[in-house]
Amino acid sequence: MRSPEREPAVAASAPIASPPSAAQVESPGLLDRVFSPRGELTGAILAGAFLLGGFVAHSLLKIESAGVLYWASLAVGMVFGLRAAAEALREKKVDIDVLMVVGAALAAAIGHPEEGALLLFLFTLSGALEELASERTKREVEALFQLMPKAALVLRSGAWVEADAESLAEGEIVKVRPGERVPVDCAVVKGTSSIDQSTITGESMPRLVKEGDELYAGTVNTDDPLEARVLRPAKESSLAKIMNLVVEARERREPFQQAIDRLSQPYTIFVFAIAIATALVWRFGLGRPWIGETPATGAVYTAITLLIVASPCALIIATPTATLAAIARAARAGVLFKGGQSLARLARVSSVCLDKTGTLTYGRPRLYEVHPVAWSDGSALLAVAAGLEADATHPIARAIREAAAERGVEPAHVERVNHTVAQGIEGEINGRLARIGGAAFVEECVPVCLRQRTREVLGKIQQRGHIGVVVGVRERDNPDAGEAAVLIMADTVRPGAAALASELHALGVKPVRMLTGDNGATAERVARSLGLDAFDAELLPADKLRIVGEMKGAKGGVAVIGDGVNDAPALAAADIGIAIGTIGTAAALESADAVLLNDSLHAVPWIIRLARRTRTTIGANLSLAVGIIVIVGIATLVGSALRRPVPLSLGVVAHEGGTLLVVLNSLRLLAFPPPTAGVVPDDGD
């Protein structure tokens, strides 16, 4: 194993540079290849082959000269062991690498090269597998580097030219052709297409984009060409922010792991001291020879066995291997954690607070009913509304146009369009006056006999917490000849919101409470429809912060899920803050402890299950590591004192085998089942 404290630190705040080009990467030298994880694995296999050959030739075939194979195995293991130990000593550290090399050398010195060879073989093998496992946990996320395009087609001096993606400046226009990756974060100014965001957000289906929609760096245009305006340079893109988060997550350690790291060197020195003390007690207290004819009579042999068994290899890697595996698994499912502490806190969550607009809902209205008043034609009035709103940019206008397109309604041709700020839009259709907006503004276009009925319908809609927009059209010279309708709209609920409360309840998370600045009627409608336990409406950010503070006094932790903008104070104050569906929003990445990169809430119960499984895995790892040290350590001392010793080879296998088991147990988290809509599998906790 390799001591984690010698891993190179990367400043979390430093910008992520683009990966070097092939021309910039020099071919690794011979030493680099030899001491790479795969080179170390090859060395371990070679040492194992020599060791096995020596055992077969010496023990089974009784070839006396076969002992040279043990020394060959020991020499191969020493190549890797001495290098690691030398690095530690250069840094003035006495760590596990030094301890293992000393143990192997002493075993060989007292005439047991096969024991030293076995130790270094397993030590080298476990170190290689650990590093390969660590590489695997990083691979899913580091592959994001490959998503960043190197070139872009940009409009400069009236012509489309190829340019370096990193040279793009805010405001420039780029073209993204079918099959190409979006070079930087940008907003569509021309065209409609489908964008594949699966590599970043985990969404399985492409997202339809049109004018005004934002595109994220690294996503793929699957259909028609798009023209888009650059929103931010490549180094400030969503992808770069995500990579910064990944670096920060890798560098953060949980408090328990920090304590282990601090105690690693003192503990190693303590093990050396205990081993030396054991040798002295066995020699002068029990009268055993330094090196006996059998292991039972050798003080040095007993001390070496204890030294190896008490080494904390498995204990040191118990937490970081599980944490890195869980972070990598979450990233593959479109969830970014800012470190192991976030996972640990999420595992303890017992209640959840959610924002409404932008979290439980998309934060934009959707027209779901055209309610005609009296004899009016709903489709015809939807065509009028779409025609009046053809060039408007506000969310209600977009909802009306989208509804008309979905229902195959062609927008009416409107002339003399006039927009009255904060009231509505007026126009002329085939000589008739048409208006859309609030009841007071549109009333002149509503036939006199329908006005009272229109107000009643609008009142009922608003009582239910929905949005009501009135559209009317009438003859200019006849106030009773016309039509009217109320367009009923509501904010669209996110995928997974309907089942969220029941899934969280199944995990023992309760209450699930909504905190919103919206009006009480709308909040009540959403809370009841989603089965939430409680809701608070008409709140300011300071009110949300106060409520979260009050809930933190209860048993367990409080998670806050928000959109990262007006929820930033509550996200920061919670035991764990989770931002959703906004990979381009800096506030979400900075204020939250975890970020959901897609629009679905199905991932929320899933990450709680993953966090709890990670906690269980770490607990099992620590129990295994401590158990091996205590049980085999006591057995070594008691057995030797009673002249029924634990063989050094058994101590080696127990020690290094425990390390391998910890790594393999942690890697099981990479196979954690993906989020499944509406299903709450056993969390294994």
pLDDT, one tens digit per residue, over 399-434 is 899 899 988 899 999 888 888 766 789 999 888 889
Q: What is the DSSP letter of 370?
A: E
Given 97, 196, 355, 567, the catalytic residue: 355
**Active-site annotation holds for 355:** yes
**Per-residue pLDDT for 35 more than 50?**
yes
**Per-residue pLDDT for 611 more than 60?**
yes
Alpha-carbon gap, residue 580 to 607, rounded angstroms: 13
Q: Are 661 and 624 in contact (CB under 8 A)?
A: yes
Mean pLDDT of the region 137-153? 64
Alpha-carbon gap, residue 26 to 44, rounded angstroms: 26
Buried b (16+ CB within 10 A) or exposed e, 429-462: beebbbbbbebebbbebbbeebbeebbebbeebe
Question: 149-236 domain in CATH 2.60.40.10?
Answer: no
**Model confidence pLDDT, tens digit, residues 565-601:** 567 778 878 888 898 865 545 555 566 788 887 777 8
Q: Are 230 and 186 in contact (CB under 8 A)?
A: yes
Q: Domain extents for the chain?
A: 4-142+247-325+614-671, 149-236, 335-360+494-597, 363-492
* Of 57 and 20, the one with more pLDDT: 57
Alpha-carbon gap, residue 414 to 388, rounded angstroms: 6
Least confident of 201-205, 423-427, 608-612, 629-633: 201-205
Confidence of residue 342 (pLDDT cuts 50, 70, 90): confident
- In angstroms, what CA-CA distances link 103 with 281, 315, 641? 19, 19, 20
* Of 550 and 200, the one with more pLDDT: 550
Selection from 27-36, 511-520, 584-593, 603-612 with the highest mean pLDDT? 603-612
Q: What is the DSSP letter of 348?
A: T
Alpha-carbon gap, residue 124 to 119, rounded angstroms: 8
Strand partners, 561: 354, 578
- Tell me the two tokens of residue 268: 């190693």
Alpha-carbon gap, residue 532 to 457, rounded angstroms: 28
Q: Are 152 and 174 in contact (CB under 8 A)?
A: yes
Angle at which helices 299-309 and 96-109 pack, to 10 degrees?
A: 150
Alpha-carbon gap, residue 658 to 633, rounded angstroms: 14
Question: 363-492 domain in CATH 3.40.1110.10?
Answer: yes
**Per-residue pLDDT for 159 more than 90?**
yes
Mean pLDDT of the region 334-342? 81
Ramachandran sector of residue 684 (left: φ over 0; alpha: ψ -120 to 50; beta: rest): left
* Of 382 and 38, the one with more pLDDT: 382
For residue 230, the model assigns a pLDDT of 94
- Tell me the two tokens of residue 366: 């959707």
Q: Are 212 and 231 in contact (CB under 8 A)?
A: no
CA-based radius of gyration for the chain: 34
Q: Are 583 and 216 in contact (CB under 8 A)?
A: yes
Residue tagged 């050798």 (tokens): 298
* Of 291 and 226, the one with more pLDDT: 226
Provide the CATH topology of domain 335-360+494-597.
Rossmann fold (3.40.50)
